Amino acid sequence: MIDCERLRADAPALAALPPDAPERVAAWAHASGCDGCARALREAERLQALVTAWEPPALAPGALERASQAILAELRREARRRMTASIAAVCASMVVIVGMARDASRSTLDWAWAAVLGALALVLAAAARRRAPLALTAAVLAAVTAAMATGRPGPLAVDVGVRCLTMEIASAAMVVGAVWLAIRGGTTSPARAAVAAAAAAGALAGDAALQVTCAARDAIPHLLAFHVGGVLLAVVGASLLWGRRGRSFARGASPST
């Protein structure tokens, strides 16, 4: 025996079946003696007829191509904004750190290393989106190379090291924050590797400024522990924090702003 309530709920699906389908034939056989079911089946068939007869309007010539070009143009604009913001933040972080220094180095060698690391930080900031693994590797290697080339046996200088570490993390945060602000509300979101690479570029910019402002800039234990360590910590921290943000967003939580 057919359940009227179930039949009326299934009326749209029954109307989509071929006329000779056993389920549809049985439903109409029942509806011949049930006005409510007959009305539901007729309404479902009228709706099905409208859906079948409807044809979507044809797209204007070139509409898909124009839409594709508009999307690509927006993606390029966001990429340019991201790169410009990264470069500007790298420059700003170096200027701020050097400007805050009470006694900057007068050594030509220190300034030369600062210039090299700063220039590399700018290049890596620009390449962070497309060449994230390369940028990460280059930032760490550059920090290690500068430490080995300029350092000599000396104290760890933990008190100075805490300040250096803070400067590099703050510099990394400036670059990552600038990237986020540049594309906030846009159509793209930075990948985890790209964020880590931007943090590496920012930390390397901090390391560049510390080449002429750090009081223990000639002690290799200090340089490896805090200058190189700052780059590594910035990379790991940015990766973990951005990964947590992505997991929260996937669970439906609002991303932190």
Give the span between the Cα atoms of 250 and 25, in whole angstroms.
46
Give the span between the Cα atoms of 132 and 128, in whole angstroms.
5
Most confident of 67-81, 176-190, 213-227: 213-227
Closest CA to 217 of 161, 159, 175: 161
Q: Encode pLDDT of 59-101 as tens digits.
A: 777 777 887 887 788 778 888 888 888 999 999 999 999 988 8
Q: Provide, rounded to the nearest whole percent, the portion of the chain with pLDDT above 70.
A: 92
Provide the H-helix boundaries in the chain: 4-9, 11-15, 22-31, 35-53, 63-100, 108-127, 132-150, 158-183, 192-213, 220-222, 229-250
Mean of pLDDT values over 230-255: 69
Contact 143, 150 (CB under 8 A): no
- To which residue do tokens 């910035």 refer? 234
181 Cβ partners below 8 Å, 6+ apart?
A: 85
221 Cβ partners below 8 Å, 6+ apart?
A: 151, 153, 154, 155, 156
Q: What Å distances lie between residue 181 and 58, 83, 173, CA to CA?
A: 40, 12, 12
Mean of pLDDT values over 203-229: 93
Q: Encode pLDDT of 134-162 as tens digits.
A: 999 999 999 999 999 998 998 999 999 99
Q: What Å distances lie between residue 137 and 4, 70, 209, 224, CA to CA?
A: 69, 35, 20, 16
Contact 135, 197 (CB under 8 A): yes
Q: Encode pLDDT of 17-33 as tens digits.
A: 888 888 888 888 888 88
Tell me how many degrees the CA angle 198-199-204 measures, rounded to the nearest 5.
100
Give the span between the Cα atoms of 85 and 224, in whole angstroms.
29
Using DSSP's 3-state secondary structure scheme, residue 225 falls into helix
Total Cβ atoms within 10 A of residue 211: 27
Q: Which residues pair with 152 in a beta bridge?
A: 219
